[in-house]
Copies of this chain bind each other. A is one copy, B any other.
Amino acid sequence: MKQTLKVSIAQINVCVGDLSGNTEKIITAIAKARDEQQASLVVFPELIITGYPPEDLLLRPRFLERVEQALQEISLITKGITAILGVPRLIDNKLYNQSVVLQNGEITATYSKHHLPNYRVFDEKRYFNAGSETCVIDVAGVKIGLLVCEDVWKEQPIQATLKSGAEVLCVINASPFRLHKTQERQTILQRQSSQNHCPIIYCNLVGGQDELIFDGQSLAYDNTGQQIFQAPIFESGVYPLNLPVKTAGQAIAPIKHSENKTIYNALVLAVRDYVQKNGFHGVILGLSGGIDSALTLAIAVDALGAENVEAVMMPFRYTADISITDARKQAETMGVKYREIPIEPMFDAFMNALSDEFDGLQRDTTEENIQARSRGILLMAMSNKLGKMLLATGNKSEMSVGYATLYGDMAGGFAPLKDVLKMRVYALSRYRNSLGEEVIPDRVITRPPSAELAPDQKDADSLPPYPVLDDILQRFIEQYECVEDIVAAGYEEETVRRVVNMVLLNEYKRRQSAPGARITKRAFGKDRRYPITSAYRKEL
């Protein structure tokens, strides 16, 4: 007889620090798994009681006490079901990142994560001690070995756990989204399950948390390396799974999502969770008639609903008529509240006030910055007065080279496109329009990009064409290529040096920028930590 185990994968969306709210969600999921899905086992993600990453909250003794109370509270309702969930725990005054087993109202076993990631966005060695023991539990006669996230990427904990008698591996995760991450997970799980003839349950977190997006997509593999389960991407839910223990299962084709669809939906989730988890119901943004704000508006509407989004066009003497036409058109198509507030009077007031100070000095970017900052003040004033979060609309190409005004267009609570290069902004805009109505007017996509801060200004006047700029940036920032490498790839040395120099020089601006959603291998923020004070650009 084929032996199967009824498992529920609780891929849920929690909020960091919301111990009582998260506890309630966990209890609800356990009840659903047991009472509706008749599961023997329900599996939750890594650090699910606290949310991931709790950062320095983990250094507060009272926080850890509350977490332990929450764990005890959850344990009480595990009659008739086994629950596995992630929680930080102090053992002999040392903190561990644990997978805890709750059965019949008690904590019956624990596993401490062996491999603590401390690279890219991860700082786990700041908080946790590494475990070294294995943990194999019995659920309905099946021996289940526990692992936490990074452990399943390494040989040592897997082999030790199998040696301890595990027939099934259960990995709890808080694995953040970035492009191509799903395939990497699938490759490692396929290999580990087939080589070790051992099924694997892989439960991942879902939801946005500051810069990070967790995509869910929990997985299961049978003991031949076949993928037999894949939970939805970016969706919270408790998913039932019949896991074959010592036999092959029914293979499913891995669900693939197009890059643009995946990124677009990732950004929608990031905006929704950042706005809502921070207690805002709506957002406001400056709509310029350009593509960045147009795409940001589309994402905001898809995330929060048109009724919760407000767009403001703030024209100036350099604003083209078509910019105003296109902004109006998009706002109308998307059904959002729309205002026009010319910035001429504010700009003039500043220039007047500064006329003595600036007497005899050349016009330069100062005057452009005053335009951007007047808009920033207007938007922040509306944000403050109406209680709507301001979204910054800049993209990664601009953030990289400093083509943005600090306290101007960089102002805002969240920057949805912060990790999206300009060419991807175009691709995402076309993707969104391909879904139905042309929500981003075609002319916004096809006209030459301009900040419209000076007469007849075009981005191409001061920056290389975006296909060139983006490739240089991607090579320098994500691939760590040096100037010589990038030149060898076919770019002019002068252009490469200029771009790289701008990237290094503008660290100070990025340090004061709003957080944004991470979608690449190297996003600005926790993922990329550069000194502001640095003379390395002299050495290039």
Binding site for B on A (CB under 8 A): 15-21, 51, 53-57, 59-63, 66, 118-119, 123, 125-126, 208-210, 273-274, 277-278, 339, 341-343, 345-346, 348-350, 352-354, 356-358, 361, 364-366, 369-370, 373-374, 376-378, 380-382, 384-386, 406-407, 411, 413, 480, 482, 484, 508, 511-515, 528-539
Contact = CB atoms under 8 A, between A and B. Distances in A.
A349 B341 CA distance: 11
25 contacts: A17-B536, A17-B538, A18-B538, A54-B534, A59-B480, A61-B480, A118-B125, A119-B126, A208-B533, A210-B531, A210-B533, A277-B535, A278-B508, A278-B533, A341-B354, A343-B353, A346-B350, A354-B385, A357-B386, A366-B385, A370-B381, A374-B377, A377-B407, A406-B411, A512-B512
Given A63-B536, A277-B533, A531-B55, A357 B339 contact: yes
Q: SS class of chain A's interface: helix, strand, loop or mixed?
A: helix
A315 to B, nearest CB: 12
Contacts of A407: 373, 376-377, 380, 407, 411
B535 A17 contact: yes
Contact of A57 (B54, B61, B386, B536): B536
Nearest to A279: B535
A421 B384 CA distance: 27
A326 to B, nearest CB: 22
Contacts of A534: 15-18, 51, 54, 57
Number of copies: 2
Given A353-B378, A407-B376, A515-B511, A57 B530 contact: yes
Contacts of A528: 56
Contacts of A365: 384
A374 B376 CA distance: 11
Contact of A536 (B19, B361, B537): B19
A108 B378 CA distance: 63
Shortest beta-carbon contacts, A-B, top 7: A17-B536, A18-B535, A62-B482, A17-B534, A407-B407, A366-B384, A345-B349
Nearest to A19: B539
A350 B381 contact: yes
Nearest to A389: B508
Contacts of A374: 377
Contacts of A377: 350, 370, 373-374, 377, 407
